[in-house]
Each structure stands twice: as C-alpha cells, then as structure tokens.
Chains A and B, each alone.
Chain A
C-alpha cells in the first residue's frame, strides 16, 4: 500500500476546527421568535395607548406587525431577495395553518362535546323506547349506525362500479373510438357528469322520492336512501377516477396494446393496476362525500327510532339523521346524544379513510 504512487494531487486538508455545513437547525427559529415577541409587545402597547381593542384584532395586527418587522430585519441583514423569501415563506405557512386549524377545531369540538354521550349503551341500544327526558345512560345510536353502514355500503356498491367504468370510458374514449373519428359521446358524458356533481343533495333526494318512493310505490327504505346517495357519489368517483387514469404513463398503454392485448385487457390488467391507489382514493372521496349527507335521507330513509336491519324495506335511521333529529330537542341528554352521533360518524369516516389508504398504498410488488 505504501508504494502506490500518488497520481492525484492531495486534497487540501481542511482545518479540523471548520464547522460542518448543515442546514439551519432550531437555532434559526430564535430570531423570528424574538421578533414575534417584539411584534406582540409593540401591538399590545398600541392597543393600550389607543382606542383599538378586541382579541381577534390584536392577533391580526400582531401578525402583520410581525411580518413587517421580520421582513425589515431580514432585508437589513441579508438583502431584499431574502426578505421577500421570508415574507412569502410566512404567508404560505400561514395559509397552511389556516387550512388545518379549522379542521382541528371542528374535530376537537365534536370530540369534547360528543365524548360525554358515548357509553356502552350508545352502541347497543336504539331510541325505540327512550323518552325525551331519559338520561343519556339510556338509548343509543345502534339503529343509526346500522342504517349508515347499510346505506353507504349499498350506495358504494352501486356507484363504485358505475363510477369506475365511467372513469375508464372518459379516459379511454379516444382509444375506443373508430380510428380517425372523434369521440363525441365522451364529451357529452363528461359534461353531464360535471353537471351531476353540482346537483344539490336535496334534489337527489327529491328525485329518488318522486321516482322511486312514490312513482314506483317502493316506500321509504334504506335502499331508496342508498340510491339517492349513489347519485351524489357517482360524479365524484367518475371524475376523480378519470383524472387518475389520465396520469398513467401513455407508454404503458402503448406497450400493452403493442403486445397484442385488446383494449379491455389493457385497461383491466395494466392501466387500472397502475392507477390502483388513485382509484381507491377516488372511491374513498366518493364515500366521504355521501357519508355525512342528511338532506337526501329525509325523503328516502325518513329516519326512525327503532332498529331496522333490512335496508330494502321500511324506514331506517342514519347517523347524520340521528344527529339532526336529536339536536332538535331541547333536553341536554338528547343534545349530548346528537354530538355523540356526530362523533361516531366522524370516527367511521376516518376509519374508512385509513383503511382505504392502507389498502390503496399497499403495493403488492413494490415498484
């Protein structure tokens, strides 16, 4: 080893005391924090000295004073570009916070309000023999949980295949059309699906009410509710699914077709597996869209206080309906049940989300 001639010039030896180059650590936050404190103090003094008042106003003013001070400080120390960079960084971070904070507040609020109404009987009992003044240790949302699971499940069973097939059609229509001809129908379908996603949910309910409940003499049932919900779910699944199918690299489609695969096998075996996690997301978004719907249920499932496990016959409750109906009462126990119902609904949707994420992101073959 020692005799090996050195062919490259030796690297310049670094002084051992040289600090390692790292991205700014937590210490980078010290200065903004000091500036923020200064901003808060300045604004507080201004509020004391003038007629300005109010907590919200104070927060907003502090924020803008902070941004101004922070920008000034950065410009002074690092120049204009860096100053702008910080201002935009703060603005973007604020926007992010503004999105998350309301969500967190809603969830926390429902949890604090609803947790008191949750007890063992809430998941086991219905409201069939519970009076308006009974304590929350009696009665529960068992019937409503059953109703929601059945109605949303049925709606998903109807809307998922229809929605995914529509998504495939919209994204693959060019390939299905005769060579040289433009797929006119796909444009119409896309337009209608877009229009459909704008249908107010109450109109979907009315539609099923007049057509299914009244005209076809089917009466109120969980199935009627599921039909109304599937009308709302279909466009979400179809359009989201289409977008997902479109981002599958065109090379895969060509590779499969060039192997002599018919288009349907290409879609089923190559394109849909490649878009799998996105398609799962599309279905989950659709379910999330309908799980909390109340309006269409009013005219289709009607609502009930008793357990009805048969979704094809008779009135049925659902968690949104349950929350709505309980909240309309004045008794504290009823209101607490309503909040508990809302909490269970959120938990149900969250569980579904998590489940779908796990299923969708689980990549069978890595890749």
Chain B
C-alpha cells in the first residue's frame, strides 16, 4: 500500500458475483456509476480531504469508514454538490456520474441532485407537511408531476420499511413519528424521486438497533437499483451492508486521505495497510 501523499492508484475489482458480499450480480438497470477523481476539498484555507480517487460501480454499496474529522462527510457532500453550499467551501477534482462531470460548467446542481439523493445524519422531515406529503415532497419541489400519488407513497414507504407502520396515519404531521421512523421517512422521500445514487451520511447514528436493522435491510433491498454510498462509524454496519469499503484517515494537521479501498470482505479480513487493521479492530479511532 502506498503511503498517504503518494499518488494513490486504486485498481477497482470487477463488480462481479464473487465479491458482492455473497449476493448475486445485480441487474444494474437504473443505478449509475459514480467516480471521484483527485478530489480535494477545503473549508476556507484548511484542506479537509485530498487526492480521493474512488470508483463506485453501478448498483453497489460503498461504505466510507474512518475516525471523526477525517473528511468522510465532506467527501460525501462533494458527491452531490452540497459541499459548495457551505460558505467558504472550495474543491478541486472531478466527480463523474455515468462519465459526466457533475461540476462541468453549465451543469445544474438541482438537476444533478435529483439523480444523486442524500440522507442526513439527523432525520429532517419537513415539519409543515404530513407524512404523505413528505414522501411526495421531492417530486413536488422538483416540479415533477406523477399520476398515481398514492401508489408512489405506498411503494416508497414500503421500500423504506415504513408502510405498515404509517399507512393509517399518512395525514398526520411528520413530526409525530419517532426518530427512527422519521429517518425511514427521509429515505422514502429520497427514493421517491428515483435517484440513481443515494448518499447516506451516518443515517443510523441517531437510531436504535431495530431502526438501524430496518434501514440496513432497506439499503440491501434498494441497492439493486440505486448505487449507495454510506458514511458510517459502525464497523459492523459497514461489513454487513457494503460491497466495497473505503477507509479514510487524516493524520494530525493533514487532510483526510483514502488509506484503503477494496471489496469489503478483503478490507475487513486481509487489509493491506496496518492502520486499517488497527482501526477495524478498535485499536484506535
């Protein structure tokens, strides 16, 4: 493994049957490939992440792990242009969605974010809308009209594992749900616009184990049609849900870099870098 700072060349394994956490090859119909090339991101003058080269194949689940402050979330926010919404944020490099640079001049962030959805650490349903309206809010906000709204609500809530719990209270305010339910509602809301990629920023860190389990099931289920990138602090979660794992690490005063990237099984069983092994086995971080 190369030391951080060197040009990090990662050869990506084929997204074939063997590696995919025991699952069979997926029909990657709608899902898109996402690729980060030489991504660097700053806040003001401080460089947060540097030289990130990751390729996330269509229909795969990629987990990003690493200690706090290593730029995982920042990198995730670069992937759908949320990073630039923070005042003082800058970045360099390319992010390719199915080969198209999302930062190309003339590319419209709002259009692109329809294809690259995001679920946040803290559940943030719209408080002024009902549960049903929340599911449809993405379509409404993007100005997309759908024929059968009830069907969209049912199928998306079903995908997020929430339908049976809320089917009789769709007209209640979203704030009446528990934290875990709110987060699943947010996932349903993100899925309603049929994204090709779904970015998840520690989606389970505020949730109880059973809600976490539901969300992990959801991730497994949707990853047939959506490419998922999930930032997590939970090593077991990474090993359970992901096909590929990227380990980010920032040395003191240095920006975060990818120390290791590969199929989850290999990263967890035979990591190339000793630091990965130390981190995975809880020796630091």
Residues of A within 8 A of B61 (CB): none
B262 at the interface (CB under 8 A from A): no
Residues of A within 8 A of B129 (CB): 365
B178 at the interface (CB under 8 A from A): no
On whether A364 and B128 interact (CB within 8 A), knowing A258-B118, A259-B142, A265-B141, the answer reads yes
Cβ 8 A contact of B87, one of A182, A259, A274: A182
Give the distance to chain B from A257, nearest Cβ to Cβ, in Å.
Answer: 7
Of B90, B128, B143, chain A has the most CB atoms within 10 Å of the CB of B128
On whether A367 and B117 interact (CB within 8 A), knowing A175-B85, A251-B122, A261-B142, the answer reads no
Interface residues on chain B, number (Cβ under 8 Å): 40
Instruction: State whether A260 touches B127 (Cβ < 8 A).
Output: no
Instruction: State whether A180 touches B89 (Cβ < 8 A).
Output: yes
On whether A259 and B117 interact (CB within 8 A), knowing A174-B87, A179-B84, A367-B174, the answer reads yes
Instruction: State whether B113 touches A252 (Cβ < 8 A).
Output: no
- Residue of chain A at shortest CB distance from B190: A259
Instruction: State whether B128 touches A274 (Cβ < 8 A).
Output: yes
- Residue of chain B at shortest CB distance from A268: B141
Which of A341-367 touch B at CB < 8 Å?
Answer: 364-367
On whether A260 and B85 interact (CB within 8 A), knowing A180-B90, A251-B122, A270-B141, the answer reads no
Instruction: State whether B113 touches A259 (Cβ < 8 A).
Output: yes
Instruction: State whether A260 touches B141 (Cβ < 8 A).
Output: yes
Residues of A within 8 A of B120 (CB): 251, 254-255, 258
Instruction: State whether A254 touches B113 (Cβ < 8 A).
Output: no
Of A260, A273, A367, chain B has the most CB atoms within 10 Å of the CB of A260
B110 at the interface (CB under 8 A from A): yes
Which of A258-307 touch B at CB < 8 Å?
Answer: 258-263, 265-266, 269-270, 273-274, 276
Cβ 8 A contact of A367, one of B109, B118, B124, B173: B173
Which of B79-98 touch A at CB < 8 Å?
Answer: 80, 82, 84-85, 87, 89-90
Which of B104-157 touch A at CB < 8 Å?
Answer: 109-115, 117-118, 120, 122, 124-130, 137-138, 140-143
Instruction: State whether A257 touches B110 (Cβ < 8 A).
Output: yes
Which of A170-213 touch B at CB < 8 Å?
Answer: 174-175, 179-180, 182
Instruction: State whether B80 touches A274 (Cβ < 8 A).
Output: no
B176 at the interface (CB under 8 A from A): yes
Of A175, A254, A258, A263, chain B has the most CB atoms within 10 Å of the CB of A258
Instruction: State whether B111 touches A257 (Cβ < 8 A).
Output: no
Give the distance to chain B from A367, nearest Cβ to Cβ, in Å.
Answer: 4
**Which secondary structure dominates chain A's binding surface?**
helix
Instruction: State whether B128 touches A266 (Cβ < 8 A).
Output: no
A256 at the interface (CB under 8 A from B): yes
B193 at the interface (CB under 8 A from A): yes
Docked complex Cα distance between A269 and B125 (Å): 13
Residues of B within 8 A of A252 (CB): 124, 126-127
Instruction: State whether A260 touches B113 (Cβ < 8 A).
Output: yes
B172 at the interface (CB under 8 A from A): yes
Instruction: State whether B124 touches A265 (Cβ < 8 A).
Output: no
Cβ 8 A contact of A249, one of B80, B85, B124: B124
- Residue of chain A at shortest CB distance from B87: A174
A interface bracket (residues with beta carbon within 8 Å of B):
20 to 34
Docked complex Cα distance between A175 and B124 (Å): 19
Give the distance to chain B from A256, nearest Cβ to Cβ, in Å.
Answer: 6
Cβ 8 A contact of A273, one of B85, B128, B130, B173: B128
Instruction: State whether A366 touches B141 (Cβ < 8 A).
Output: no
Docked complex Cα distance between A261 and B124 (Å): 15
B189 at the interface (CB under 8 A from A): yes
Which of A229-270 touch B at CB < 8 Å?
Answer: 249, 251-252, 254-263, 265-266, 269-270
B186 at the interface (CB under 8 A from A): yes
Instruction: State whether A255 touches B110 (Cβ < 8 A).
Output: no
Residues of A within 8 A of B80 (CB): 258
On whether A274 and B82 interact (CB within 8 A), knowing A254-B120, A259-B141, the answer reads no
B4 at the interface (CB under 8 A from A): no
B15 at the interface (CB under 8 A from A): no
Instruction: State whether A180 touches B84 (Cβ < 8 A).
Output: yes
- Residue of chain B at shortest CB distance from A269: B141
Instruction: State whether B85 touches A259 (Cβ < 8 A).
Output: no
Instruction: State whether A270 touches B126 (Cβ < 8 A).
Output: yes
Docked complex Cα distance between A96 and B120 (Å): 43
On whether A365 and B130 interact (CB within 8 A), knowing A179-B89, A270-B141, the answer reads yes
Docked complex Cα distance between A365 and B172 (Å): 7
B69 at the interface (CB under 8 A from A): no
Docked complex Cα distance between A152 and B231 (Å): 54
B67 at the interface (CB under 8 A from A): no
Instruction: State whether B113 touches A257 (Cβ < 8 A).
Output: yes
On whether A366 and B87 interact (CB within 8 A), knowing A254-B82, A259-B113, A259-B142, the answer reads no
The 4 closest A-B pairs by CB, nearest first: A260-B114, A261-B141, A251-B124, A259-B138
22 contacts between A and B (CB under 8 A): A175-B85, A180-B90, A252-B127, A255-B126, A257-B82, A257-B109, A258-B80, A259-B117, A259-B193, A260-B112, A260-B113, A260-B114, A260-B141, A260-B142, A262-B110, A266-B141, A270-B126, A274-B127, A365-B128, A365-B129, A367-B173, A367-B175
Q: Which A residues are within 8 Å of any B CB, using their own CB?
A: 174-175, 179-180, 182, 249, 251-252, 254-263, 265-266, 269-270, 273-274, 276, 364-367
Given contacts A258-B120, A262-B142, A266-B141, 8 further A-B contacts (CB under 8 A): A180-B89, A259-B138, A270-B137, A273-B128, A274-B126, A365-B173, A367-B174, A367-B175
